[in-house]
Amino acid sequence: MKILITGANGFIGKKLVGSLRNKHQLVCQYRKENFEVNEYDSFFFDICRKSSWSNALQNVSAVIHLAAVAHNKFNDTVSMHETNVKGTVNLARQAAESGVKRFIFLSSIGVNGISNSSPFLVYDSPAPVENYAISKFEAEIGLLKIAAETGMEVVIIRPPLVYGPNAPGNFGKLANLARKNLPLPFGAIYNKRSLVSIDNLVDLIVTCIDHPKAANQTFLVSDDHDVSTTELLREMTLASGKKPRLLPVPMGWLNLAAKLTGKRAVIDRMCGSLQVDISHTKEVLGWEPPVSFKDGIQKCFSKE
């Protein structure tokens, strides 16, 4: 099968390419000119509403659309909308016109919301709050419209925080804290958060390429093992070969400190709950996360 992967040089894209390289013919879109492209049909350009995909889509059976603008230093919602919404819809429409059978779209659990007191279900009404999640939801709407108009199958996957070796973003920051093993005031946080290892996410994406029951479905994904921030930091520190030094500071004190230092959003994100129920994903696809949470964390520090 010939597959087009966008964002092929990103954190998730590299892992996905590695998983598919010996099984399918790959066409890779990327944004950095130093990407290793010798083994694939590859091309370098930005994604927008005017991008032409005619050459890249020749004889392609499936598109896996990973590329997106998550944030930028200017918080430019215009460029985010241009890439994440208009660029996605443009690609999907051209894919349908080229005869692509299935379009897999990596969305975000942020489409469901930023926190909860009970796990999100795939059937819950979308409630995106942040600009990135709003753009992903608008892209989902556009994709479902194209699916209805053209018959191209669309698969939407909404992951929570994705972690793995050399992960960027918040997980990367936590990994650095674990390696430094400084005394941290996060020993008494009793929240619950769903995470997904990059191995489990890629396995689900690969499953959705040709699974007959994946067509026109939306899937939530996680390791199926929720943890508190305290548990997460403890496992990360142990995986790095050190003994955790987590001080049991009450949440009230952390909230006060966050208020005084203007870091309320950081504490809310770190200490709030966000759980995902993946029973629909498991039942429809007969899928189980192949890598346990503990093994997934261990892989992040296995070479240290």
Q: Which residues are catalytic?
A: 132
Separation CA 296–CA 164 (nearest Å)? 7
Q: Give the separation between CA 273 and CA 290, rounded to whole angstroms.
A: 24
Q: What is the rounded CA–CA span in Å between residue 216 and residue 100?
A: 14
Instruction: Collect contacts of 263-270 with beta carbons under 8 A, ≥24 apart.
Output: 268/115, 269/114, 269/170, 270/186, 270/189, 270/229
